[in-house]
Chain A
């Protein structure tokens, strides 16, 4: 039987940030699916943090605060996210899953397909599991864009699949937002391929039904804490 925690011995070095790229990728991939190793990594992160936080104190350079304030202002001054508009949504059982979401399953690869076949199994067997589906329509910024969010509340998994998105410069990504009472929670970032297809596997919050709307905006690579760029897709649950 193979070792269920193949990267465990690498976690101390991972927390120190001294692994080479291949090792680091291997660790991150494992951590994504292993709570035990995430907890172990967190305990070493704490050690690294304790060592770092113990650095001898040095006086702050004059002007650094003003520089940081200006940098944050510049980052925040991009056009504000417009209010979410009218949406279209339908609830549907699995067989009604749109072709776009099915395409997402293909894009997500064989490993995730297995995961998804597990998630949709009961529905596929006719047991009536319902998946929540929201259709997202392109805005004036991306009139050809069209997307679907499919949520499986039983498994707390969801997928977003989008077509027709304009290409972005390398320092930008699309970010999905879950909207509740005007507040927006990030659903993750993604980059479309050359054909304008993009997909994103997301974890569905337990209270996802409180999130009535979805939006996708253009953000700096890695995402923003709140929407800052133009909205390209919108839809409602």
Chain B
């Protein structure tokens, strides 16, 4: 079998064995996903490129730690890219280098009004099942999840920004994730 015919999992094994061509093939298949995930969090394309490169270097360094039983390669890459982008975003934010327009917009909607500008971010997602699952969340949960997922704020930061008690914010995010897990899981079984 030529490397081009290999499954993603087989490519990961090849990479773990030091096959550089396999990294190129993985990039060909999933580079766009990895870059898009980073760009969803970081609006600066140059920084998103750095994140993308970093993700593939991590793949090279740690392909051996990938466990097929814990999820597909594509979703694994997506999570690494998003979480790496969040790390970078936090560093930039600590230096004051991040525009806060989206956050301000999210915050400007009065609680309970149902007018969540984070809505636009969620509705931009490609996966209809994900969009639908998010849409069923109560507005307060969705608002907290927006700040957590797209902006990587900690519980404390979200509580401060929304002017809500810390415990309430923790519960909202937890409940939101539990609901999403249930809804995405249910739909996959259909």
Task: Show the binding face of A for B, using Cβ within 8 Å.
Answer: 9, 12-13, 15-20, 42-61, 64-65, 67-69, 71-73, 75-76, 183, 185-186, 220, 222-226
Cα distance, A133 to B161, chains bound together (Å) = 57
**Residue B103, interface by CB 8 Å:** no
Cα distance, A57 to B37, chains bound together (Å) = 8
Chain B residues whose C-beta falls within 8 Å of the C-beta of A75 in the assembled complex: 57, 60-61
**Residue B93, interface by CB 8 Å:** no
Once the chains bind, are A58 and B36 in contact (CB under 8 Å)?
yes
Once the chains bind, are A50 and B130 in contact (CB under 8 Å)?
yes
Chain B residues whose C-beta falls within 8 Å of the C-beta of A72 in the assembled complex: 20, 23, 56-57, 60
Once the chains bind, are B49 and A55 in contact (CB under 8 Å)?
no
Closest CB in chain B relative to A119 CB, distance in Å = 25
Once the chains bind, are A46 and B170 in contact (CB under 8 Å)?
no
Once the chains bind, are B61 and A54 in contact (CB under 8 Å)?
no
Once the chains bind, are B57 and A71 in contact (CB under 8 Å)?
yes
Once the chains bind, are A65 and B27 in contact (CB under 8 Å)?
yes
- Interface of B (DSSP majority class): helix
Q: Mark B1-44, 1 if CB is under 8 A from A, else 0.
A: 00000000000000111101001100110011101110110000
Cα distance, A58 to B17, chains bound together (Å) = 31
Once the chains bind, are A17 and B86 in contact (CB under 8 Å)?
yes
Chain B residues whose C-beta falls within 8 Å of the C-beta of A222 in the assembled complex: 61-62
Cα distance, A58 to B35, chains bound together (Å) = 7
Chain B residues whose C-beta falls within 8 Å of the C-beta of A67 in the assembled complex: 49, 53
Chain B residues whose C-beta falls within 8 Å of the C-beta of A64 in the assembled complex: 31, 35, 49, 52-53
Closest CB in chain A relative to B175 CB, distance in Å = 9
Once the chains bind, are A49 and B79 in contact (CB under 8 Å)?
yes
**Residue B82, interface by CB 8 Å:** yes
Please name 16 pairs of A and B residues whose Cβ atoms are closer than 8 Å in the assembled complex, sorted by A: A9-B174, A12-B176, A16-B177, A49-B75, A52-B82, A55-B126, A57-B32, A58-B32, A65-B31, A67-B53, A68-B27, A69-B20, A72-B60, A76-B18, A223-B61, A225-B61
Tell me the nearest residue of chain A to B150, going by C-beta. A51
Candidates A49, A61, A226; contact of B17 at CB < 8 Å: A226
Nearest 3 A-B pairs (CB), nearest first? A12-B177, A49-B75, A53-B78
Chain B residues whose C-beta falls within 8 Å of the C-beta of A60 in the assembled complex: 31-32, 35
Cα distance, A49 to B130, chains bound together (Å) = 11
Once the chains bind, are B60 and A76 in contact (CB under 8 Å)?
yes
**Residue B154, interface by CB 8 Å:** yes
Chain A residues whose C-beta falls within 8 Å of the C-beta of B79 in the assembled complex: 45, 48-49, 52-53
Q: Which of B53, B79, B130 has the most CB atoms of chain A within a 10 A radius of its CB?
A: B79
Chain B residues whose C-beta falls within 8 Å of the C-beta of A71 in the assembled complex: 53, 56-57
Q: Which of A12, A17, A55, A67 has the most CB atoms of chain B within a 10 A radius of its CB?
A: A55
Candidates A20, A43, A183, A226; contact of B181 at CB < 8 Å: A43
Cα distance, A227 to B156, chains bound together (Å) = 42
Q: Which of A17, A20, A48, A222 has the most CB atoms of chain B within a 10 A radius of its CB?
A: A17
Chain A residues whose C-beta falls within 8 Å of the C-beta of B75 in the assembled complex: 46, 49-50, 52-53
Closest CB in chain B relative to A189 CB, distance in Å = 11
Closest CB in chain B relative to A218 CB, distance in Å = 14
Once the chains bind, are B52 and A16 in contact (CB under 8 Å)?
no
**With contacts A18-B155, A47-B180, A68-B23 known, is A52 near B53, CB below 8 A?**
no
